[in-house]
Amino acid sequence: MHKYRSHTCSEITKKNSGKTVKLSGWIHRKRDHGNLLFFDLRDHFGLTQCVVENTNEFFKVVEKIRPESVVCVVGKVVDRSSETINKDLFTGEVELKISSFEVLSEAKDLPMPVFGEQDYPEDIRLKYRFLDLRRQEMHENIILRSKVISFIRNKMIADGFLEFQTPILTASSPEGARDFLVPSRMHPGKFYALPQAPQQFKQMVMISGFDKYFQIAPCFRDEDGRADRSPGEHYQLDMEMSFVEQGDIFKIVEPLFFSLFKEFGKGKDVSEIPFKKITYKSSMLKYGTDKPDLRNPIEICDVTAIMKREDVKLDIFKKIIEKGGVVRAIPAPNTSSKARSFFDGYNNWAKEEGAKGLGYIILAKDNGKLIGKGPIGKFFSEEAIGELVKVCKIMIQYFFLLTK
């Protein structure tokens, strides 16, 4: 038998019942039932429950051993009783009855437990990163990262790309952030810079005559940390292609990301390819940003034509339109219960952003008729209100009107 294990902690099932196996791993957690001691043994692959009776020569050792100690155990695989089966565990139908127990590395008291997914201060997690990465969620995140990178690499190679590694120590080539500098031993007083992106090197690759390049590249930037990456560095998929147009890039990137999210999206809906394309101008006009979240149903609507109507008595808007301005409306659902201060706050914000202000109208029904309430509601006829509802595709709700 192998010195450390015959199986991993995720392999033991009923088909192994009655067999003697050897496992190595970490003590995940213990449960003392008096005459019996149970502990979960954990390795990279999973968990197996082990049991020690008080008549066992190793009972006292197991009783004193701390969680996260590394042990090697030998035992007989036995079936669990029907009422003790753990359906959430792949090995939950069996347990290991210990006949040999060897401590490979004994743990001291832990600064943070591995069992459970409680939140701990970031400084503790970073100081004891090796413990933090043993936690199930973090462990699975690292595995996911590895699988995603491997998936991307295989897809790019299948599409005819060559993977190159570009230099890390280089001359400064600013990319919008500060450089990390590394003192030169050979040239006192001078420094190397860590690359913010492999931009110059990949361009050298392309002018050298290679056709398709990619790299999963580290990018070092001396900037504050963000929610989606550690301070100072992140990794990105970098690619270059020769003799291509914009459409050729889409043909490579869209299938890659579609299949990537299909594979690792845990069943979430993924937009079919080709992806919907929005021009910059259209995006800014409809969503107010060049990176809209299309899950948000709110769209900014052009209501300039409505403001020109004879049955809309708002001279301030008409004057703006006469000067070449436009009027846009933002539907604001679920705000009917908001206090006046809510709308005044937005009006003040609009002024801080450089606008002269904004008006709002409350849409409601009165005796079956659609009417407008609020500061400017009285200036709209029923027909004009109906046209607002139609153009902006809204139900009865609050409405912001912006001027430009």
Q: For residue range 111-142, what is the model confidence (pLDDT) as tens digits?
A: 999 988 778 888 999 899 999 999 999 999 99
- Whole-model pTM? 0.79
pLDDT higher than threshold 90 for residue 364 = no
* pLDDT value, residue 401: 58
Strands 70-79 and 20-32: antiparallel
| Cβ contact 11:47 at 8 Å | no
Q: How confident is the model at residue 73 (pLDDT cuts 50, 70, 90)?
A: very high
List phi, psi (to 5°) of 138.
-70, -40
What letter does residue 222 receive in the DSSP assignment? B
Assign 3-class secondary structure to 261-319: HHHHCCCCCCCCCCCCCCCHHHHHHHHCCCCCCCCCCCCCEECHHHHCCCCECCHHHHH
Q: What is the average pLDDT score of the chain? A: 90
Say which DSSP state 328 is in.
Answer: E
Instruction: Please tell me the least confidently modeled range out of 190-194, 230-234, 289-293, 370-374.
Output: 230-234
Task: Give the mean model confidence (pLDDT) for residues 161-184.
Answer: 89
Tell me, what's the pLDDT at 303?
Answer: 92
Who has greater pLDDT, 17 or 372? 17
SS3 content of the chain, % helix, strand, coil (to 5): 30, 30, 45
183-197: average pLDDT: 92
Predicted pLDDT at 395: 60
For 366, list phi and psi in degrees, rounded to 5: -135, 110
Residue 305: per-residue pLDDT: 93
Q: Looking at the predicted structure, is the pLDDT value of residue 249 above 90?
A: yes
Residue with token string 């029907």: 82
User: How many whole angstroms separate alpha carbon 361 and alpha carbon 365?
Assistant: 13
pLDDT over 90, % of the chain: 64
3-state secondary structure of 152: helix
Q: Does the pLDDT at position 41 exceed 90? A: yes
Give the closest residue to 397 by CA, choosing from 329, 304, 303, 315: 329
Q: Given pLDDT bands bounded at 50, 70 and 90, which one contains residue 256?
A: very high
Query: What pLDDT does 400 receive?
Result: 58
* Average pLDDT rounded to a whole number, residues 157-181: 90
The reported pLDDT for the residue numbered 331 is 86
pLDDT of residue 336: 65
Maximum alpha-carbon separation in the chain: 96
pLDDT band at 159 (very low <50, low <70, confident <90, very high): very high
Phi/psi-derived region of residue 127, left when phi > 0, alpha when psi is between -120 and 50, beta in every other case: alpha
Which of 248-252, 274-278, 392-396 has the largest mean confidence? 248-252
C-beta separation of 372 from 361 below 8 A: yes
Asked if the model's pLDDT at residue 318 lies above 60, the reply is: yes
> Over the stretch 325-357, which tens digit does the pLDDT of each residue have?
889 998 887 776 678 888 888 889 888 988 878
Q: Which residue has the higher pLDDT, 326 or 364?
A: 326
Please give the pLDDT value at position 356. Answer: 79
The pLDDT score that the predictor gives to residue 371 is 81
pLDDT at residue 398 is higher than 60: no
Q: How confident is the model at residue 372 (pLDDT cuts 50, 70, 90)?
A: confident
Vertex 157 angle, CA 215 and 264, to 5°: 80
pLDDT given at position 146: 96
**Mean pLDDT across 277-296:** 92
Residue 34 has pLDDT above 60, yes or no: yes
How sure is the predictor about 2, in pLDDT bands with cuts at 50, 70 and 90?
Answer: confident
